[in-house]
Amino acid sequence: MTATSAVQRVVRDLRAMGSEKVRTGMLRFGIDEPKAFGIPMGKIQAYSKRLGRDHARAQALWATGWYEARMVAIYTADPAALTVKEMDAWRKDFASWAMCDTACWVLYDKSPLAWKRIAPWSKATGEFQKRAAFALLAGLALHDKQAKDETFTPFLPLMAKAANDERNFVKKGVNWALRSLGIRSPELYASCVHLADELAAREEASARWIGKDALRYFATAAAKKRLDSNAQRRLKLRQTK
């Protein structure tokens, strides 16, 4: 089967799985994609798993412009094969939080190139393009168990700067990253609480919301449990070295 026919088959399969009811439901959740068949995420994940990884096919699927085809591309692309140019190009196409967050959490945060994309992406003008910086930072904070605290601290000023962006998906992305960093370790917890206090006292409504919401989260039993669990895991890791 040629690459072209493989992509045509995938798009045909996705079209057959589509539902106008699901497409309408996507809109209610703020997923306003211009080209979408309307397929539940569970079905996209299951279909992608059956297909398996194929980076060339993923590139061709992305080029179709269909939302679900791009989601399949995210789930079946090879993180090790990604280039900076490709990551930047796909990010420019993000038209919803769902596309942005899935790419950052399923694919991008598994690439060794991820760390150097956060700072430039945080300067983006597009709402979802800028959110990608903080969705990626949150993904790395929660998924990269080997990263040291000092790897994350340079990103605190980026969050402080972006906190005055009033756009809904940007401020929620910053909040998400702040909360995720804060439960990695006691040291990062202290730094993130300090930043949250500072944001909560600012004049900008977005910064105040980010700071106050993060402080509420850090005070919950769930956050303290995650922090303690991470601290214990890191201690055991140091003891085995």
| Amino acid, res. 26 | M
Report domain extents, the chain. 1-77, 87-241
Of 67, 70, 74, 75, the residue nearest 50 (C-alpha): 75
Q: Per-residue pLDDT tens for 137-161?
A: 999 999 998 899 999 999 999 999 9
Terminal-residue alpha carbon distance, the chain: 49
Class of the CATH domain delimited by 87-241: mainly alpha
* pLDDT tens per residue, range 28-59: 999 999 899 999 999 999 999 999 999 999 99
DSSP label of 219: T
Structure confidence at residue 118 (pLDDT) = 98
The token pair at 133 is 């910086």
Q: What is the CA radius of gyration of the chain?
A: 19
How many residues make up the chain in this entry? 241
Band (pLDDT 50/70/90 cuts) for residue 232 is confident
Tens-digit pLDDT profile for residues 194-213: 999 999 999 999 999 999 99
SS3 241: coil
C-alpha angle 189-98-84 in degrees, rounded to nearest 5: 75
